Copies of this chain bind each other. A is one copy, B any other.
Amino acid sequence: MELNEALERYKKLQAKMAAYGHAMSLIYYDGVTGAPKGTAANRAQTLSVLSEEDYVISTGKETTDLLEYLDSHREELGEKDRRSVYLALKGIREMQKIPMDEYIEYQKLMVEADDIWHRAKETSDFELFRPVLEKVFEYTIRFARYCAPEKDVYDYCLDRYAEGLTTETCDMFFDALKEKLVPLLKRISEKPQISDECICGDFDEKAQEEFAYQLMKIIGLDTDHCGLATTEHPFTTSLGSHHDVRITTNYHRENVSYSMYSVIHEGGHALYDSGSEDELAYTNLDGGAAMNIHESQSRFYENILGRSRGFISYIYPVMCRYFPEQMANHTEDELYRAVNVVTPSLIRTEADEVTYCLHIMIRYELEKKLMHGQLQVRDLPSEWNRLYREYLGIEVPCDREGVLQDSHWSGGLIGYFPSYALGSAYGAQFLRRMKEDIDVEGCLREGNFAPINAWNRERIWIFGRSKTPEELLENTLAEKFDPFVYTDYLEKKYSEIYNL
């Protein structure tokens, strides 16, 4: 086999996998958007066929031989091809270390765990969920040992969602958060509450939807290549390539900020996903590099930009046009304060900018201990509740609003949570760097996202997965990651708002 011929075959193979990915993502997307509610079993049937085909194509002998051949010529490959082959082989080699029967058992467990978690959450019954959750952690530990026997089991998990991330980095990061944010929250809690009346009321869903499209355009999304739909939980997905990205939101009639900020958050993911350079389309390097970098974009647009004075100054008159009655007796300053209210609360996805990372910190501490055998699943609810008391100062009334709230553990996504908090922190450091090049506040006051997007695009987006998260951070920061930049940002912003 000639190298050029092999590369041509590899290109075709990747295009094939992108097509399967497109089909499977669209079937999922259809299921949560337009599909009639009795059709889940029909989708499951099709997905089982397509995922089997996809598995065979991605990991079959023909593919493995091709990848091994390319890998044996890696010195002759361009940087991108080398990275692409490395990533594809990494996945296959890990998969090959897991005994097939255990892998199949695990897939079954995932279906069971999701179902049981839903029921357990509904009835707030942790004991119902406990046995299956124990199995999820057992399998996760076992698979981590199979795949990377040289590594700490939790490090292996972290690396799956944020290549190169370690417990050491996370410990350093969360220690800084704990040191700074727990006291900050305490000081805020002692101050009088801020009114959020301004974003509460009765907001017509059609008007919210029109406003959502306007927001997409303002932050610089190309609505010819990015769609918007309504789902129970907002998310972002790419279909086939970065040329077709979809975000979703949910309209809460009684509070306009929910859809507003979920659109900007998902919009941040979508900007990143759509920003890969064109030659990466239909390859495994298309789209975002890792979850921590992804969240650094989504939470940057949502919070650091979206909840800034500058942006509020731009968006306030826009909102007055879309919601004239509701905004009638409220000022720009009231809007700014309303979208920045800090309240310790039970539910992560509804948390404000200050408490959000504390929610993540709790999950990080717990899953790390579970993975290291320093905590048993049966003791999880009491530990959860204890940490919410300690860090957030609130009592958890029931497991439904506590340890059962997130779908991540039932879905096997152990090691995922830290990316949310790390991404938030990267964002603050990006901002500091960006300000050296751009008048960020000035751009936001004018609703001019073009220079901000260009800055992110050339440092992060265009590379897709062709660089590691660490390389992207280096690219962007030109300095070491420093969590205190984030805590400083929060302290400064909220000291001003709460007059601390």
Contacts and interface: CB of A to CB of B under 8 A. Distances in A.
A23 interface: yes
Interface stretch (A45-53, A448-456, A464-472): A45-53
Contacts of A53: 16, 19, 53
A229 B38 CA distance: 16
Nearest to A19: B49
A248 to B, nearest CB: 11
A240 interface: yes
Contacts of A37: 224
A34 B34 contact: yes
A22 interface: yes
B227 A42 contact: no
A369 interface: no
Given A15-B45, A43-B244, A34 B33 contact: yes
Interface string A35-75: 11111011101100110010000000000000000000000
Interface string A273-316: 00000000010000000000000000000000000000000000
A241 B35 contact: no
Interface string A228-246: 0100000000011101101
Contacts of A142: none
Contacts of A241: 42, 45
Interface string A5-37: 000000000011011001100110010011111
- Please tell me how many copies of the chain the complex holds: 2
Contact of A35 (B16, B46, B244): B244
Interface string A85-98: 00000000000000
Contacts of A33: 34
A41 B240 contact: no
A321 interface: no
A243 B42 CA distance: 6
Contact of A226 (B26, B36, B223): B36
A222 interface: yes
Contacts of A38: 222, 224-225, 243
A265 to B, nearest CB: 19
A50 B19 contact: yes
Given A23-B27, A30-B26, A18 B36 contact: no
Contacts of A46: 18-19, 22-23, 239-240
13 contacts: A15-B49, A18-B49, A23-B26, A33-B34, A34-B34, A34-B246, A35-B227, A36-B224, A39-B224, A41-B243, A42-B243, A42-B244, A45-B282
Given A33-B34, A39-B225, A43-B244, 16 more contacts: A15-B45, A15-B49, A16-B49, A18-B49, A19-B45, A23-B27, A23-B50, A34-B34, A34-B229, A34-B246, A35-B244, A36-B225, A36-B244, A38-B224, A39-B239, A42-B243
Interface of A: 15-16, 18-19, 22-23, 26-27, 30, 33-39, 41-43, 45-46, 49-50, 53, 222-227, 229, 239-241, 243-244, 246, 282
